[in-house]
Amino acid sequence: MTNKEFEARIKGSTQPIVIDLWAPWCAPCRAMLPIFKEAEKKYAGKVKVMRINADESPEVIRALRVFGIPTVVGYSHGAEIIRRSGVLSPQGLDLIFDAAITGEKPARMPLAPRDRLLRGGAGLALLAIGWFIGPSWILLAAGAVVLFSAVYDRCPIYKAVAPRVAAIFHKSR
């Protein structure tokens, strides 16, 4: 597919479109395929789905400035609404489809289990290093912040306080 064909399909569509940019040699792309097929069935009739092979359409990949695959892009009314790279959870993919339908970006994408583990491990490592070399209060604080970033979206206190803090900053503008 050429870039002109791609743009014509996006601009000419009356339905929202979700695009899966993939390649046959890409293991994460193959891992995400069943999740994507399930979401495609779930949103059939509401969202058009395009799967673009990165190897067969390099012009489109360059025009979209895609640097990693798999990448999923949601379009609504011809405009890009959301883009995510890497393997997505079913919930993350649902957010992309919903964003394409509503035409609004979701507030936050949920963290993937892999990201939670990496952040949690990095936070614990910083805490351990900070404790054993001193204690080093800077490393302990950094470890606590990184560890909290792994679970903040599940914290009821954060959920209660964050909108209020955001409202304060939006008023001051």
Q: What is the rounded (10 degree) CA torsion for 70, 50, 58, 91?
A: -20
Answer yes or no: pTM beyond 0.85: no
- Band of pLDDT at residue 137, cut at 50, 70 and 90: very high
Q: What is the pLDDT of residue 53?
A: 93
Judged by DSSP in three states, 88 sits in coil
Mean pLDDT of the chain: 89
Which tens digits make up the pLDDT trace of 91-132?
888 989 999 998 887 766 777 778 889 999 999 999 999 999
Report, as residue numbers or ranges, the catalytic residues.
Answer: 26, 29
- Band of pLDDT at residue 172, cut at 50, 70 and 90: low
78: pLDDT strictly greater than 90:
no
- Domains of the chain (ranges, CATH numbers): 3-102 (3.40.30.10), 113-171 (no CATH)
- Token readout for 38 is 């399930």
Give the number of other CB atoms < 10 A from CB of residue 171: 7
